[in-house]
């Protein structure tokens, strides 16, 4: 297990970002961007083995990084990890709710119950758990920023994506609701809605079928995790009176969740 003491602290932290699902994709890109910008980063993931290289990479560049191992679906594990945060890491300025994903692309009437549970438990309930545990401190300090990684999929359903789209529509509603609930404070809420981003997203959706996953990005230059992380960092570093409430970021030649112009 990781040593959760202040020994890992190299300098006084002026800003702290916690990023869920930081071992790959958009989460990893956010960890790199925020660490590169001087944030101390708390990176979370389900697997210590997968998070370890991320920690080593960031530490090599001189960044302050603290790993937390938990699955956002395990409310008790999350609560314990947050409870055990060392004093110097407790004042989280930016919470990036990134963990989650898509499972399956079957018609709704043929969908897999376990896939549905995984998406609903991670994308909605996991995000809510993080929010419920971290935002009270932000409200108390009258400072903080919640950046939810939503999706263009939350704007309109597409074939076979009903449940995933519903979870991302929920992310929009939860972002909008939270923004209302913290409007009396200086806490800001951003919902970033990416379109096609080439990460392990589609490999996970297709249960490891890499050939099928590659076809999703065929004939189009997809976004990268970095492109989305740039938006997150811009929103976080905007002047205090500016709240980037929602950003739809698509690949050029993608018009919506279901309309993509492909070169071939």
Active site residues: 164
Q: How far is the CB of 257 from ligand 8X3 (least distance, A)?
A: 5
Q: Which stretch binds ligand 8X3 (CB under 6 A): 9-17, 26-34, 135-143, 149-157?
A: 149-157
Near ligand 8X3 by CB under 6 A, which window of 39-47, 87-95, 150-158, 228-236?
150-158
Number of H helices, E strands in the chain: 9, 7
Contact with ligand 8X3 (CB under 6 A) among 69, 196, 229, 235: 196
Q: Shortest distance, CB of residue 220 to ligand 8X3, whole angstroms?
A: 11
How far apart are alpha carbons 148 and 38 in whole angstroms? 21
Q: Closest-CB residue for ligand 8X3? A: 151
Answer for the pair 51, 45: CB distance below 8 angstroms, yes or no: yes
Q: Is 153 in the site for ligand 8X3 (CB under 6 A)?
A: yes
Greatest distance between any 2 Cα atoms in the chain: 55
Single out the residue of 230, 227, 225, 236 nearest to residue 94, CA to CA: 236
Query: Count residues contacting ligand 8X3 (CB under 6 A)?
Result: 6
Cα 14–chain centre separation: 22
Give the alpha-carbon dihedral of 168, 75, 111, 162, to 10 degrees.
Answer: -10
Stretch touching ligand 8X3 by CB under 6 A, among 109-117, 146-154, 180-188, 225-233: 146-154
Residue 120 DSSP code: I
Contact call for residues 153 and 160 (beta carbons, < 8 A): no
Query: Does residue 195 interact with ligand 8X3 by CB under 6 A?
Result: yes
By C-beta, is 183 or 255 nearer to ligand 8X3? 255
**And the tokens for 74?**
């395990």
- Would you count residue 152 as binding ligand 8X3 (CB under 6 A)? yes
Name residues whose C-beta falls within 8 Å of residue 12's C-beta, 6 or more positions apart in sequence.
none
Identity of the residue, 64 or 98, whose beta carbon is nearer to ligand 8X3 in the bound complex = 98
Binding residues for ligand 8X3, per CB under 6 A?
151-153, 195-196, 257
């Amino acid at each position: 297990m990781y040593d959760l003491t202040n020994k890992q602290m190299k300098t006084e932290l002026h800003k702290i970002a916690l990023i869920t699902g930081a071992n790959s994709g958009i989460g990893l890109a956010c960890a790199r961007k925020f660490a590169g910008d001087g944030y101390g980063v708390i990176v979370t993931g389900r697997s210590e083995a997968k998070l370890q290289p991320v920690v080593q990479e960031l530490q090599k560049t001189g960044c302050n990084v603290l790993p937390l191992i938990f699955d956002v679906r395990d409310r008790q594990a999350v609560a314990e990890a947050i409870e055990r945060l060392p004093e110097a890491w407790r004042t989280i300025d930016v919470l990036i709710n990134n963990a989650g994903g898509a499972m399956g692309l079957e018609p709704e009437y043929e969908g897999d119950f376990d896939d549905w549970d995984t998406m609903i438990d991670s994308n909605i309930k996991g995000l809510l758990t993080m929010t419920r545990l971290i935002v009270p401190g932000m409200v108390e300090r009258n400072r903080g920023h919640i950046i939810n990684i939503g999706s263009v999929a939350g704007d309109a359903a597409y074939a076979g994506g009903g449940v995933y789209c519903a979870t991302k529509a929920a992310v929009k509603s939860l972002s909008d609701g939270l923004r209302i609930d913290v409007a009396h404070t200086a806490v800001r809420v951003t919902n970033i809605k990416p379109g096609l981003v080439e990460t392990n997203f589609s490999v996970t959706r297709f249960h490891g079928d890499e050939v099928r996953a590659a076809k999703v990005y065929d004939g189009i230059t997809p976004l990268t995790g970095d492109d989305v992380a740039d938006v997150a960092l811009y929103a976080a570093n905007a002047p205090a009176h500016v709240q980037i409430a929602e950003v739809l970021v698509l690949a050029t030649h993608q018009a919506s969740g279901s309309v993509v112009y492909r070169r071939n």
